[in-house]
Amino acid sequence: MGFFRFVFSKTFLVQLLIAGIVLIILTFLALQWLDYSTNQDQRIEVPDLAKMNLDLVEDRLDELDLNYEILDSANFNPDFPRYSVIDQVPAPGKFVKEDRKIYLTLNPSGYRKIQIPDNLIRKTRRQVEPTLRSLGFEIGEITYKPDIADDAVLELRHKGELVKPGSELMKTSVIDLVLGDSSERYNKQEDSVEVENENEVDEF
């Protein structure tokens, strides 16, 4: 009976009420701390960093309390300035928390260099042009000079300079082709005919 009398006493009820209030206060404070520490209500919109250089990127992200990390360089894109942002993760418009890293891909300084194959000379134009285009080069001026072969590639030139097999040029470089016109073949045939005619005359 003494236990029940204590449970329903005014002193116990007051202590129980105080304990309940303390528990509620502690729970509220714990939730507030958790909310603050995890930035539950903080949402920062990721800006569009495309075509910005790193100086501008750093200033813009500092204003928003965001960080960045450079992942790699992509293939050169002439539509973007050199060393500017060409891609980013997360994408612009996404919402992130404070101190979140934005991962960046930069545009390199220019096209990479590509080696000229060593088996193009004396190949036909039909064979050489697709090979050069597949490597990323552009075909420029086509000229001819006397040779026994017809449409065979005799020389590769870039900006007037002879391009030797194994040398390297920037991707998208324009390569001019110098082809044979087969005139030497006909000259030799004509010379051969003249010699035969002379031999026939001598026999008479």
pLDDT in tens, the chain (204 residues): 555 565 556 676 677 778 878 888 888 887 777 666 655 556 899 999 999 999 999 999 999 999 999 987 767 888 899 889 999 999 999 999 888 999 999 998 788 889 999 999 999 999 999 999 999 999 999 999 999 888 999 999 999 999 999 999 988 899 999 999 888 665 554 545 454 555 554 555
Write down the pLDDT at residue 52: 95
- Name the 3-class secondary structure at 45: strand
Of the candidates 107, 109, 111, 141, the residue with the CA atom closest to the CA atom of residue 125: 141
Write down the pLDDT at residue 186: 53
Write down the pLDDT at residue 201: 46
Query: Which residue is associated with the tokens 């293939």?
Result: 75
Q: What is the Cα–Cα distance from 127 to 119, expressed in whole angstroms?
A: 11
Query: Which residue is associated with the tokens 């997360």?
Result: 90
pTM (2 decimals)? 0.52
* 44-106: CATH class: alpha beta
Q: Which two tokens stand for residue 51?
A: 């075509």
- Residue boundaries of the structural domains of the chain: 44-106, 113-187
Domain 113-187 has CATH 3.30.10.20: yes
Q: What is the Cα–Cα distance from 142 to 180, expressed in whole angstroms?
A: 11
